[in-house]
Amino acid sequence: MSRMNVDLSSARNMDTVQVEQEIRRHLEQSLGVEPDEATPGDYWEALSLLVREINLDRIRNTRRGEKNDGVRRVYYLSLEFLVGRLLGNNLHNLGIYHQVEKAMVGFGVNISDVLEYETDPALGNGGLGRLAACFLDSLTTLNVPAFGYGINYRFGLFKQGFVGGKQVEGPDAWREDGFPWGIERAKRKQVVRLYGRVREVDGNALWEDTQEVLGVPWDLPVTGYNTDRVNTLRLWEGRATEGFDLSSFDAGRYQDSRFREILAENISQVLYPNDSHPEGKELRLIQQYFFVACSLADLIVRYKREHEGWGQFTAKVVMQLNDTHPAIAVPELMRILMDEEDFVFTKALDICRSVFCYTNHTLLPEALETWPQGLIARVLPRHMQLIHKINDHFLSKEVEAQWPGDHQMKRRLSIIQEPGDPKEPQMVRMAYLSVIGSQKVNGVAALHSRLVKEQLFPEFDELWPGKLVNITNGVTPRRWLAICNPELAALINQTLKGDWQSDLALLNELKVWADDPEFQKKFARIKLDNKQALAKVIDELCGVKVNPDAIFDVQIKRLHEYKRQQLNLLHIMAVYRRLLDNPDLDVPLRVFIFGAKAAPGYVVAKNIIYAINRVADRVNNDRRIRDKLKVVFLPNYRVSLAEKIIPAADVSEQISTAGFEASGTGNMKLALNGALTIGTMDGANVEIAEEVGDDNIFIFGKTVEEVSDLRQRGYHPRDIYQHNEELKAVIDWLASGDLSPEEPDAFRPLVESLLDSDYFLTLADYQSYSDAHEQVIKAWKNPSHWWRMAIMNTASMGKFSSDRSIVDYCKTIWNIGV
**Residues annotated as catalytic (active site), given as ranges:** 361, 557-558, 563, 665, 669
| 318 C-beta neighbours (distance < 10 Å), count | 24
Residue 170, Cβ density class (10 Å: 0-12 exposed, 13-18 middle, ≥19 buried): exposed
Q: At its nearest, how many Å lie between ligand F58 and the CB of residue 710?
A: 22
Q: At its nearest, how many Å lie between ligand F58 and the CB of residue 127?
A: 3
CA distances from 253 to 197, 210, 262 (A): 20, 16, 14
Sign for the CA dihedral angle at 663, 666, 667, 672 comes to positive
Q: At its nearest, how many Å lie between ligand F58 and the CB of residue 180?
A: 28
Specify the residue, 126 or 331, whose C-beta has the smaller distance to ligand F58: 126
Specify the residue, 663 or 680, whose C-beta has the smaller distance to ligand F58: 663
Binding segment for ligand F58 (CB under 6 A), chosen from 126-134, 404-412, 582-590, 762-770, is 126-134
Task: Count the site residues for ligand F58 by CB under 6 A.
Answer: 17
Q: At its nearest, how many Å lie between ligand F58 and the CB of residue 150?
A: 13
The interface mask with ligand F58, positions 445-484, x = CB under 6 A, is: ----------------------------x-----------
Specify the residue, 669 or 788, whose C-beta has the smaller distance to ligand F58: 669
Specify the residue, 382 or 669, whose C-beta has the smaller distance to ligand F58: 669
- DSSP string for 272-312: ----SS----HHHHHHHHHHHHHHHHHHHHHHHHH-SSSTT
482 vs 8: CA distance, rounded Å = 24
| 34 C-beta neighbours (distance < 10 Å), count | 11
Binding segment for ligand F58 (CB under 6 A), chosen from 123-131, 528-536, 671-679, 718-726, is 123-131
Give the single-character DSSP code of 160.
E
Q: At its nearest, how many Å lie between ligand F58 and the CB of residue 689?
A: 16
Specify the residue, 128 or 542, whose C-beta has the smaller distance to ligand F58: 128
Specify the residue, 121 or 127, whose C-beta has the smaller distance to ligand F58: 127
484 vs 476: CA distance, rounded Å = 11
Residue 621, Cβ density class (10 Å: 0-12 exposed, 13-18 middle, ≥19 buried): exposed
The interface mask with ligand F58, positions 625-664, x = CB under 6 A, is: ------------------------------------xxxx
157 vs 272: CA distance, rounded Å = 7
Q: At its nearest, how many Å lie between ligand F58 and the CB of residue 275?
A: 4
Binding segment for ligand F58 (CB under 6 A), chosen from 68-76, 119-127, 202-210, 282-290, is 119-127
Q: At its nearest, how many Å lie between ligand F58 and the CB of residue 596?
A: 12
Q: At its nearest, how many Å lie between ligand F58 and the CB of residue 444?
A: 4
State yes or no: residue 520 binds ligand F58 (CB under 6 A).
no
> Which of 87, 334, 415, 444: binder of ligand F58 (CB under 6 A)?
444
446 vs 812: CA distance, rounded Å = 14
Specify the residue, 42 or 275, whose C-beta has the smaller distance to ligand F58: 275
State yes or no: residue 770 binds ligand F58 (CB under 6 A).
no
Residue 16, Cβ density class (10 Å: 0-12 exposed, 13-18 middle, ≥19 buried): middle
553 vs 558: CA distance, rounded Å = 17
> Which of 78, 125, 370, 805: binder of ligand F58 (CB under 6 A)?
125
> Which of 120, 245, 275, 758: binder of ligand F58 (CB under 6 A)?
275
Cβ–Cβ under 8 Å, residues 626 and 585:
no
Q: Which residues contact 379 (CB under 8 A, 6 or more apart)?
A: 194, 195, 282, 285, 286, 289
770 vs 574: CA distance, rounded Å = 9
Specify the residue, 276 or 740, whose C-beta has the smaller distance to ligand F58: 276
> Which of 84, 121, 127, 221: binder of ligand F58 (CB under 6 A)?
127
Q: Which residues contact 640 (CB under 8 A, 6 or more apart)?
A: 84, 85, 120
State yes or no: residue 128 binds ligand F58 (CB under 6 A).
yes
State yes or no: residue 361 binds ligand F58 (CB under 6 A).
yes
* Contacts (CB under 6 A) with ligand F58, residues 175-214: none
788 vs 761: CA distance, rounded Å = 33
> Which of 165, 683, 717, 798: binder of ligand F58 (CB under 6 A)?
683
Residue 630, Cβ density class (10 Å: 0-12 exposed, 13-18 middle, ≥19 buried): buried
Q: At its nearest, how many Å lie between ligand F58 and the CB of residue 702?
A: 18
Q: Which residues contact 341 (CB under 8 A, 6 or more apart)?
A: 310
Q: At its nearest, how many Å lie between ligand F58 and the CB of residue 576?
A: 30
Cβ–Cβ under 8 Å, residues 237 and 152:
yes
Specify the residue, 45 or 323, whose C-beta has the smaller distance to ligand F58: 323
CA distances from 113 to 16, 88, 526, 638 (A): 19, 12, 21, 18
Q: Which residues contact 684 (CB under 8 A, 6 or more apart)?
A: 444, 445, 472, 473, 663, 664, 665, 667, 668, 800
State yes or no: residue 274 binds ligand F58 (CB under 6 A).
yes
Reduced to 3 states, what is the DSSP secondary structure of residue 761? Answer: coil
Binding segment for ligand F58 (CB under 6 A), chosen from 124-132, 237-245, 608-616, 619-627, is 124-132
State yes or no: residue 665 binds ligand F58 (CB under 6 A).
yes
State yes or no: residue 126 binds ligand F58 (CB under 6 A).
yes
Cβ–Cβ under 8 Å, residues 734 and 567:
no
Binding segment for ligand F58 (CB under 6 A), chosen from 121-129, 299-307, 329-337, 542-550, is 121-129
**Nearest residue to ligand F58, scored by beta-carbon proximity:** 127
Task: Return residues touching ligand F58 (CB under 6 A).
Answer: 125-128, 131, 274-275, 361-362, 444, 473, 661-665, 683
